[in-house]
């Protein structure tokens, strides 16, 4: 199936401003349907969840609907979907809870490729427990991170491995099923940061082998919040800090305070929007898989044009060349600071920011330091004209 990009773009009011948005890896634009779901929930009359009043039942239905939607998006079960303010907060909470069972003889493995939200929480939790942190490095030129790189850091003392599903800086997609196999053979748990993978490919958490899979709806057309998917039986074994009267049931025991019902409604609407990109199947999970495959094909084609175009501009250097990647290009322009290129692009109506994008370990590891480079990422609303505008603007700036 092919995407009807013109139809998709008509749902995004932000595109009326005439800007070519390549900043999706930091947060996508929002379709009208998602904004309407948020507004309608805020004005429909909701109370704290319950079964007595209509407002209570409405709130409960919103939560159940959001859990079902995220489960359909990721191939999980609603009973294993946890919501939080952000992926970062969720990972900090989970790391602290797991660390209560760690000690000085235990080890935790993190990678140089990851966003800091899948590094620092585990590093700090390990330090608090007296556990050892082991680092997985990747190829500086290609940006590949292999299963052998991970295997080299495993031992019978490994308790958890944290790895990205896709690098938000370089686009690298490690072989998660292969990594999961060696991690589980070592008797450890696998935590996957799926924030940058989820918007670009069909995801099945069980097939990937992730014990925990975290994502952020605002990276796939939804509101600013975080979601975690895990098997309920895995979550049952973890006892996070919580208020005495709050529910100890899974997944509620991990959700601190009243949930943001309006944002959950927006997350469900975002999943529904993705599911309908290119499919009209009756089952939402089937629609999600078909539509995400079509989106992946569309983005791969556009990304090929973008990479070829950037590679042909004198003075432009592309960073990383992983074989399997998301549509994310990181590049520098000779003689220009990354921030200056970012500003020059913005003046031309092209949003492609420059930074380390919180993947600060990766940026330093490949020699870009804390300034990083310019990043251009695709989204469902990106079209050929956007790519042409970016290439034309970079050509002018490189001169």
HEC string of 76-145? Answer: CCHHHEEEECCHHHHHHHHHHHHHCCCCCCCEEEEECCCCHHHCHHHHHHHHHHCCEEEEECCCCCCCCC
Average pLDDT over residues 203-210: 98
Average pLDDT over residues 282-288: 98
Which residue in 379, 31, 52 sits closest to 219, CA to CA?
Answer: 379
Each residue's pLDDT tens digit, 50-73: 999 999 999 999 999 999 999 999
Which residue in 125, 128, 144 sits closest to 136, CA to CA?
Answer: 144
* Residue found under tokens 């002018």: 396
Q: Is the pLDDT of residue 139 over 80?
A: yes
Strand ordering across the sheet containing 212-215: 81-84, 226-230, 212-215, 189-193, 158-164, 107-111, 132-136
Q: Is the pLDDT of residue 2 over 90?
A: no
Residue ranges of the alpha helices (H) in 172-244? 176-185, 205-208, 232-235
Put simply, whether the predicted model's pTM sits higher than 0.95 gets the answer yes
CATH topology identical between 5-30+286-398 and 36-274? no
Cβ-Cβ contacts under 8 Å for 307 (sequence gap 6 or more): 318, 329
Cα distance between residue 159 and residue 110, in whole Å: 11
Give just the sign of the alpha carbon dihedral 216, 219, 220, 225.
positive
C-beta separation of 277 from 260 below 8 A: no
φ, ψ at 320 (rounded to 5°)? 85, 145
Cβ-Cβ contacts under 8 Å for 320 (sequence gap 6 or more): 141, 142, 143, 170, 171, 172, 330, 366
Question: Would you state the pLDDT for residue 1?
Answer: 76
| pLDDT interval class at 239 (50, 70, 90) | very high
- Crossing angle between the packed helical segments 384-398 and 338-347, to the nearest 10 degrees: 120
Which residue in 395, 377, 316 sits closest to 21, CA to CA?
Answer: 377
Question: Would you state the pLDDT for residue 78?
Answer: 98
Each residue's pLDDT tens digit, 79-130: 999 999 999 999 999 999 999 999 999 999 999 999 999 999 999 999 999 9
Average pLDDT over residues 301-320: 98
On average, the pLDDT of the chain sits at 98
Average pLDDT over residues 174-181: 98
| pLDDT interval class at 131 (50, 70, 90) | very high
Q: SS3 of 343, please?
A: helix
φ, ψ at 105 (rounded to 5°)? -90, 0
* CATH 3.90.1150.10 given to domain 5-30+286-398: yes
Class of domain 36-274: alpha beta
Instruction: Write down the domain spans for the chain.
Output: 5-30+286-398, 36-274
Average pLDDT over residues 362-374: 98
Q: Is the pLDDT of residue 28 over 90?
A: yes
Q: Is the pLDDT of residue 274 over 80?
A: yes
Percent of the chain with pLDDT over 90: 99
φ, ψ at 350 (rounded to 5°)? -125, 120
Q: Is the pLDDT of residue 23 over 90?
A: yes
Average pLDDT over residues 140-149: 98
Ramachandran quadrant class, 250 (left: phi over 0; alpha: psi -120 to 50; beta: rest): beta
Pair of tokens at residue 215? 């994502």
Question: Would you state the pLDDT for residue 158?
Answer: 98
């Amino acid at each position: 199936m092919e995407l009807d990009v013109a139809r998709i773009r008509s749902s995004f009011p932000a595109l009326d401003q005439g800007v070519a948005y390549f900043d999706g890896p930091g947060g996508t634009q929002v379709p009208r349907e998602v904004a309407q779901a948020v507004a309608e929930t805020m004005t429909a009359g909701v109370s704290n969840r319950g079964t007595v009043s209509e407002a209570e039942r409405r709130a409960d239905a919103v939560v159940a609907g959001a859990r079902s939607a995220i489960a359909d998006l990721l191939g999980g079960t609603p009973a294993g979907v946890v919501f939080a303010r952000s992926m970062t907060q969720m990972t900090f909470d989970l790391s602290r809870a797991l660390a209560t069972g760690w000690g000085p003889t235990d080890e935790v493995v993190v990678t140089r490729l990851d966003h800091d939200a899948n590094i620092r929480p585990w590093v700090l939790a390990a330090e608090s427990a007296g556990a050892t942190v082991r680092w997985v490095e990747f190829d500086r030129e290609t940006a590949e991170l292999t299963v052998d790189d991970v295997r080299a850091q495993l031992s019978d003392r490994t308790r958890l491995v944290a790895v990205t599903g896709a690098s938000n800086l370089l686009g690298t997609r490690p072989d998660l099923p292969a990594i999961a196999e060696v991690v589980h053979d070592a008797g450890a748990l696998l935590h996957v940061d799926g924030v940058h993978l989820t918007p670009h490919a069909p995801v099945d958490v069980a097939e990937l082998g992730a014990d925990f899979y975290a994502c952020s709806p605002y990276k796939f057309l939804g509101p600013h919040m975080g979601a975690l998917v895990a098997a309920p039986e895995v979550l049952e074994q973890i006892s996070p800090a919580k208020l005495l009267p709050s529910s100890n049931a899974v997944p509620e025991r991990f959700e601190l305070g009243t949930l943001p019902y309006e944002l959950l409604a927006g997350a469900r609407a975002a999943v529904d929007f993705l599911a309908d990109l290119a499919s009209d199947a009756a089952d939402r999970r089937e629609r999600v898989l078909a539509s995400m495959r079509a989106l992946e094909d569309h983005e791969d084609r556009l990304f090929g044009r973008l990479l070829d175009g950037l590679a042909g501009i004198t003075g432009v250097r592309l960073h990383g060349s992983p074989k399997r990647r998301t549509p994310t290009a990181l590049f520098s322009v000779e003689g220009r600071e990354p921030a200056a290129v970012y500003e020059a692009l913005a003046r031309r109506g092209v949003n492609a920011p420059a930074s380390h994008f919180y993947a600060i370990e990766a940026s330093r590891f490949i020699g870009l330091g804390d300034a990083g480079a310019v990043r251009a990422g695709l989204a469902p609303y990106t079209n050929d004209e956007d790519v042409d505008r970016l290439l034309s603007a970079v050509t002018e700036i490189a001169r």
